[in-house]
Chains A and B, each alone.
Chain A
C-alpha cells in the first residue's frame, strides 16, 4: 500500500535560515509525490509535485523539494525562511484507485523573527 510519513510534528527555524521539512514514502512503481501547505482556517494549497525527471523540483513561494530514490525521501526545502512561511505542511502520494491522495500527518513549521 502507498504511504508517506512525516517524522517531525514541528520544525522551528529562525527567519532567514534554510528550512527542511521531511517526508519519506513507500510506493510501488514510480512515485508521484506532492507537497501542500495549509494556513490557519484555510484549505490546502498546492506547492509542488514530483512526477519524473529532475530530482530537484521547484514550486511556489520559493519552495523546492529533493527527491531521493535510494532514501525514499522527498524533503521540502527553502533557502531562506520567512515568518509568513509558518503553516502546516503535508506531503501526499496517490493511493491507487480513483483520485485519492494519502496524506502524511503534517508538520507544523514555525519561523521565528
Chain B
C-alpha cells in the first residue's frame, strides 16, 4: 500500500512569503502529526490532527498553522516566512492516533527561505 506522501519535496521561498505543505497519510490512517527538523534544534513537534481536529500543538508561533480534511489529508501553512523557518518538514501518520504505537513518516518537504 502507498506510504505517506508529502508534496512538494523541495521549496524555495522568499522572506515574508507564505507557504503551504501537503501530506497524504496512509489509507485508513486518521492521525497526522507534523515535525520540523533542523540541524540546530533537531526534531520538534508542530501539531497533530485526528479526524479533522487539532489535538496537540507544539511550541511554535502562530505563524505555523495546519488543518486536516475529511479524507485525512493534512496541510500546514507558514505565513510571513523567516530565514529560520528553513527546515525539513516531516509529516507522519498513524492508525490509532496513539503515540505508544509510533508512526510512519513521509519523506519530507525541504523548505529553504532566502
Contacts and interface: CB of A to CB of B under 8 A. Distances in A.
Contacts of A99: 31, 33, 48, 50, 55-56, 94, 97-99, 103
Given A43-B108, A105-B42, A98 B102 contact: no
Interface centre among A51, A100, A103 (most CB of B within 10 A): A100
Contact of A103 (B42, B55, B58): B42
B99 A100 contact: yes
Interface residues of A, number: 24
Main secondary structure of the interface of A (DSSP, over half): loop
A44 B94 CA distance: 14
A42 B104 CA distance: 12
A84 B31 CA distance: 32
Contacts, number: 69
A94 B48 contact: no
Interface centre among B31, B43, B101, B104 (most CB of A within 10 A): B43
Nearest to B98: A99
B90 interface: yes
A51 B100 contact: yes
A106 B42 CA distance: 8
A41 interface: yes
A110 B55 CA distance: 38
A101 interface: yes
Given A43-B6, A46-B104, A99-B94, 7 more contacts: A43-B108, A97-B56, A98-B99, A99-B56, A99-B98, A100-B99, A103-B43
Interface of A: 32, 34, 36, 41-46, 49, 51, 90, 94-95, 97-106
9 contacts: A44-B92, A49-B102, A51-B100, A90-B43, A98-B50, A99-B48, A99-B55, A100-B99, A101-B102
